[in-house]
């Protein structure tokens, strides 16, 4: 089914907008390049002089050319071995910004009574701070192992598993819907990369934000220019 333009840089597929925001009860967001302007792992790699090498793997994974996200993430994290923990603080302070319109859209969702979920293949160092900054309800991401103030090049195993990949994003969205007693049709999922497609596939409204082609082609809404608050042109 082809998408139809609603306005310059804003496309819809499979429904007729506008939809009432009040029909939804949960919104799930990817973090890197969705809520925020960077891929955190690429910027951490910059401190190790390995940004080009790591970014190439990230880009291929987000385009869907690398199908094993867990393996691609382990490979990238291994290249961070020896990076000082201080580099994470510098990335957060100097490079990480919320994407345009994110604060406005999140506040609109909260005002309408939606619960908010950040689910990321990135790292808790950043997701915890973004969660607090936006006052989000839930967050899950990966934990970098740090010993004696430096990254070991490994991830910490957590009770829910080892890595947040596409399957885990989907599972968590469904789990939170279950905990809330709502249908997945009452969830919105917003992302930009291939590992967001599984959670987008179960949500009642899937949104591609400045996304890779494979994601734009499957999402119900695609924002290709402007900020995330453009979703409020679709949701009233």
CATH code where residue 201 lies: 3.40.50.1000
Confidence (pLDDT) at 168: 96
Q: Quick one: average pLDDT of 153-178?
A: 95
* Assigned domain for 153 exists: yes
Confidence (pLDDT) at 27: 98
* Assigned domain for 142 exists: yes
Supply the angle between the helices 40-47 and 69-78 in degrees, to the nearest 10.
20
Confidence (pLDDT) at 75: 94
Confidence (pLDDT) at 136: 98
pLDDT confidence bin for 39, thresholds 50/70/90: very high
Residues in the chain: 236
**Dihedrals φ, ψ of 45, to 5°?**
-60, -30
What's the rounded Cα separation, in Å, for the pair 36 and 39?
A: 8
Peptide bond into 156 cis (omega under 30): no
Q: Quick one: average pLDDT of 21-38?
A: 98
Confidence (pLDDT) at 2: 83
Confidence (pLDDT) at 33: 98
* Assigned domain for 52 exists: no
* Assigned domain for 190 exists: yes
pLDDT confidence bin for 67, thresholds 50/70/90: confident
Q: Quick one: average pLDDT of 83-90?
A: 96
What's the rounded Cα separation, in Å, for the pair 168 and 166?
A: 5
Cβ atoms 221, 211 nearer than 8 A: no
Residue 38, both tokens: 């960077």
pLDDT confidence bin for 161, thresholds 50/70/90: confident
* Assigned domain for 74 exists: no
Confidence (pLDDT) at 48: 87
* Assigned domain for 45 exists: no
- What DSSP string describes 11-74? EE-SS-S-B-GGG--EEEE-TBTTTBSS-HHHHHHHHTT-HHHHHHHHHHHHHTSS--HHHHHH
Confidence (pLDDT) at 41: 97
The closest of 29, 22, 19, 20 to 173, measured between CA atoms, is 29
If you average pLDDT over every residue of the chain, what do you get? Answer: 96
What's the rounded Cα separation, in Å, for the pair 162 and 227?
A: 32
The closest of 164, 220, 166 to 198, measured between CA atoms, is 166
Residue 206, both tokens: 């899937």
pTM: 0.96
* Active site residues per annotation: 30, 32
Residue 160 has pLDDT above 80, yes or no: yes
In sequence order, what are the beta bridge partners of 29? Answer: 118, 190
What's the rounded Cα separation, in Å, for the pair 174 and 199?
A: 8
Domain range for 114: 4-38+98-233
pLDDT confidence bin for 24, thresholds 50/70/90: very high
Q: How many C-beta atoms lie closer than 10 Å to residue 156's C-beta?
A: 12
Number of folded domains that form the chain: 1
* Assigned domain for 127 exists: yes
Confidence (pLDDT) at 166: 95
* Assigned domain for 195 exists: yes
């Amino acid at each position: 089914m082809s998408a139809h333009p609603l306005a310059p840089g804003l496309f819809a597929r499979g429904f007729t907008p506008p939809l009432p925001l009040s029909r939804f009860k949960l919104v799930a967001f990817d973090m890197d390049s969705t809520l925020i302007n960077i891929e955190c792992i690429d910027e951490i790699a910059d401190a190790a002089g390995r940004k080009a090498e790591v970014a190439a793997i990230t880009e291929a994974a987000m385009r869907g050319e690398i199908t094993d996200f867990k393996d691609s993430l382990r490979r990238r994290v291994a290249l961070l071995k020896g990076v000082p923990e201080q580099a994470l603080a510098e990335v957060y302070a100097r490079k990480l910004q919320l994407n345009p319109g994110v604060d406005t859209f999140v506040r609109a969702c909260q005002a309408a009574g939606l619960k908010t979920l950040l689910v990321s293949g990135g790292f808790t160092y950043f997701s915890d701070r973004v969660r607090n900054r936006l006052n989000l309800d839930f967050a899950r991401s990966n934990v970098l192992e740090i010993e004696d103030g430096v990254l070991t090049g490994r991830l910490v195993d957590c009770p829910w598993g080892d890595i947040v990949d596409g399957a885990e994003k989907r599972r968590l969205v469904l789990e939170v819907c279950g905990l809330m007693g709502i249908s997945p049709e009452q969830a919105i999922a917003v992302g930009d990369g291939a590992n967001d497609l599984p959670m987008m596939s179960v949500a009642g409204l899937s949104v591609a934000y400045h996304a890779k082609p494979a994601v734009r082609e499957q999402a119900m809404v695609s924002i290709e220019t402007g900020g995330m608050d453009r979703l409020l042109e679709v949701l009233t």
